[in-house]
């Protein structure tokens, strides 16, 4: 299955059905009169978050979604049926933006969430609605109201607890494959990973979701390489694991390149907690390890962890550090939700 994380769609709700202009015409029945029913309401357009989807690939082949028009009213005071709704099914993590691409309309994070984006038009009144003592045979009926139409952007941001960043060939996919059951493509050339990958890490009795995005290069924010289009997938992460290839000559430059791209992407990523690890240390001598770790620490001002995705050296410590920050974030969110729930309970009408 191909990966698609952004799509542009056009939606239109249904028009309301026409009201009916009708009169009773049964022979030998007195007190006839108007009996035209109302038109049915037009269908709505909904977006629903569902399980079993992890990409927006369906919207590559269909971009137009239109709800059905309401049925027209009929004689004998019969009201038309409501038009069928149109439902756009999206994976968890999808955000819906207005046509300008900046105005957030909805954020779907949990399967089962639904939101109506376009409301169907009301059905028109039949002539029964207009009868009165002074107008006992009205010859008018309303047309249905038109539906709403708009163009929207769907953007998928993977929901993960931790995200992997680094230059191409820094060992991100190898680390993901070592700590999860994911099977990303691994090779000895840059840009092996072309789309984001997710894996569930089970460490002891605890677990979290780890996201691996394609490698960044200098100038990614300007579109070089694969660009920074996939950085949005780690905006929801609690912590970033920054892997630096220990076999590189200048580890300081490698670190600064990634940090610069994160900062150019926006404050959301630049301010996230970061764990820094010197990867591929199984290929380095002891003195070389210490030298590059010290150089990296001097450039970043942070503690540098020693890691090897192949041999497993330092893996447990890295996972423990990630879990500490992830659980702190989860606890803070739980406290915030509890506080908001208590505030709602205290409110009285």
pLDDT exceeding 90 applies to what percent of the chain? Answer: 34
Per-residue pLDDT of 54-77, as tens digits, reads 788 889 889 999 999 999 999 999
The structure's pTM equals: 0.74
Q: 189-193, 229-233, 234-238, 275-279 — which is least confidently predicted?
A: 189-193
pLDDT for position 130: 93
Answer yes or no: is pLDDT of 347 > 60.
Answer: no
Answer yes or no: is pLDDT of 282 > 70.
Answer: yes
| 162-337, CATH topology level | Rossmann fold (3.40.50)
Q: How far apart are CA 116 and CA 102, in angstroms?
A: 19
Please tell me the number of Cα atoms within 13 Å of 142 on its side-chain side. 17
pLDDT for position 143: 94
The band of 337, judged by pLDDT with boundaries at 50, 70 and 90, is: confident
pLDDT for position 341: 66
**Stretch 161-165: mean pLDDT:** 87
Per-residue pLDDT of 83-110, as tens digits, reads 999 999 999 889 999 999 889 999 998 8
Question: 68, 82, 80, 84: which is closest to 38 by C-alpha?
Answer: 80
- Phi, psi for residue 8 in degrees, rounded to 5: -110, 130
pLDDT for position 193: 66
Are 208 and 326 a contacting pair, CB within 8 Å? yes
Non-local CB neighbours of 72 within 8 Å, separated by 6+ positions: 17, 18, 19, 20, 39, 40, 80, 144
Q: How far apart are CA 180 and CA 198, in angstroms?
A: 9
Euclidean distance between the first and final Cα of the chain, in Å?
Answer: 51
Answer yes or no: is pLDDT of 330 > 80.
Answer: yes
The band of 1, judged by pLDDT with boundaries at 50, 70 and 90, is: very low
Would you say the C-alpha torsion 263, 268, 273, 274 has a positive or negative sign? negative
pLDDT for position 343: 62
Are 144 and 17 a contacting pair, CB within 8 Å? yes
Q: How far apart are CA 219 and CA 224, in angstroms?
A: 5
pLDDT exceeding 70 applies to what percent of the chain? Answer: 90
In the 8-state DSSP scheme, what is residue 284?
S
Out of 3.30.930.10, 2.70.210.12, 1.20.1420.20, 3.40.30.10, the CATH code matching 1-156 is 2.70.210.12
Of 141 and 336, the one with more pLDDT: 141
Q: How far apart are CA 20 and CA 245, in angstroms?
A: 74
For the chain, domain boundaries: 1-156, 162-337
pLDDT for position 17: 95
């Amino acid at each position: 299955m191909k990966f698609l994380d952004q799509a542009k769609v056009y939606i239109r709700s249904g028009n309301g059905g026409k009201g009916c202009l009708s009169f009773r015409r049964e022979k030998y029945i007195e007190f006839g009169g108007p009996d035209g029913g109302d038109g049915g309401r037009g269908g709505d357009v909904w977006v629903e978050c569902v399980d079993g989807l992890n990409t927006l690939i369906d919207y590559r082949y269909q971009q137009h979604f239109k709800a059905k028009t309401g049925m027209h009213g009929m004689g004998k005071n019969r009201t038309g049926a409501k038009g069928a709704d149109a439902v756009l099914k999206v994976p968890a993590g999808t955000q819906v933006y207005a046509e300008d691409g900046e105005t957030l309309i909805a954020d779907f994070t949990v399967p089962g969430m639904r939101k109506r984006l376009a409301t169907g038009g009301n059905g028109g009144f039949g002539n029964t609605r207009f009868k009165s003592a002074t107008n006992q045979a009205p010859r008018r009926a309303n047309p249905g109201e038109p539906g709403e139409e708009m163009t929207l952007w769907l953007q998928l941001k993977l929901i993960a607890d931790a995200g992997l960043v680094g230059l191409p060939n820094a060992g991100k996919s190898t680390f993901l494959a070592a700590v999860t059951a994911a099977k990303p493509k691994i090779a000895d050339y840059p840009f092996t990973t072309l789309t984001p990958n997710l894996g569930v890490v089970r460490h002891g009795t605890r677990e979290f979701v780890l996201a691996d995005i394609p490698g960044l290069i200098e100038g990614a924010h300007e579109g070089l390489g694969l660009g920074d289009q996939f950085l949005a997938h780690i905006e929801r992460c609690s912590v970033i694991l920054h892997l630096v290839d220990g076999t590189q000559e200048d580890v300081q430059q490698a670190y600064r390149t990634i940090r610069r791209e994160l900062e150019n992407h926006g404050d959301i990523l630049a301010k996230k907690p970061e764990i820094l690890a010197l990867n591929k240390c199984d290929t380095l001598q002891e003195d070389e390890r210490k030298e590059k770790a010290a150089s990296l620490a001097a450039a970043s001002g942070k503690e540098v962890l020693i890691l090897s995705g192949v041999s497993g050296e330092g893996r447990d410590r890295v996972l423990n550090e990630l879990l500490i920050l992830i659980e702190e974030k989860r606890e803070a969110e739980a406290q915030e939700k509890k506080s908001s729930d208590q505030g709602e309970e205290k409110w009285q009408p």
